Amino acid sequence: GAGVSQSPRYKVAKRGQDVALRCDPISGHVSLFWYQQALGQGPEFLTYFQNEAQLDKSGLPSDRFFAERPEGSVSTLKIQRTQQEDSAVYLCASSTYGDEQFFGPGTRLTVL
Amino acid sequence: GQNIDQPTEMTATEGAIVQINCTYQTSGFNGLFWYQQHAGEAPTFLSYNVLDGLEEKGRFSSFLSRSKGYSYLLLKELQMKDSASYLCAVRRITGGGNKLTFGTGTQLKVEL
């Protein structure tokens, strides 16, 4: 696969459940970004990894959100005790140093 | 803080030319990107400007004026498949990498 892949594509969670969203970046891309996109809005930055180091997590909306990339490749975004306001599309993007970001198809999270 | 403004909606005719404007205010500017996003799909890269002037890429061109905090995306010979949301995004130099800040997107509708 040449592109960024994300799983699951769709996730329905009951309020209070924990969810884990996976991102497989393009092979060799050292930079990995997570964004949150609400309906009708542009993506909003959540967090950034360079290899396994999380260099910027300023966009994470609360301490219920946690991201990791332990081996510098696959990344997981975890949301604990989901709330209705967490419903959105979660996009992952990867890039080489300084180049354009390539986006995955996203995970649409619906919290009931 | 940062502020990125672009029109919410635009309508144009097949075969025509349309210009989508974007204004921004930011510190640490390190480039402006345009992405296309069809409904339910990932944003795809269209163009990138870091220096003033016009970048042409087939039917798409993008212009940047850093002193004015202004960019536009020009789409020529419009096709029905160009109906999509067009996202303007500013890249900033930060301590943790080059994250993107997106506008809310301009929904372009191409009509016969």
Contact yes or no for B87/B37 (Cβ under 8 A): yes
Instruction: Please check whether residue B101 touches A, CB under 8 A.
Output: yes
B100/A98 touch (CB, cutoff 8 Å), yes or no: no
Q: What is the pLDDT of residue B2?
A: 65
What's the pLDDT band for B92 if we cut at 50, 70, 90? confident
pLDDT, tens digit (0-9, with 9 covering 90-100), for B15-30? 999 999 999 998 888 8
CA-CA distance, B50 to A53, in Å (whole number)? 27
What is the CA B51 to chain-centroid distance, rounded? Answer: 15
Contact yes or no for A95/A27 (Cβ under 8 A): no
Q: What is the pLDDT of residue A77?
A: 98
Q: Is the pLDDT of residue A6 over 90?
A: yes
What's the pLDDT band for B89 if we cut at 50, 70, 90? very high
CA-CA distance, B99 to A97, in Å (whole number)? 12
Instruction: Please check whether residue A55 touches B, CB under 8 A.
Output: yes
Q: Is the pLDDT of residue A111 over 90?
A: yes
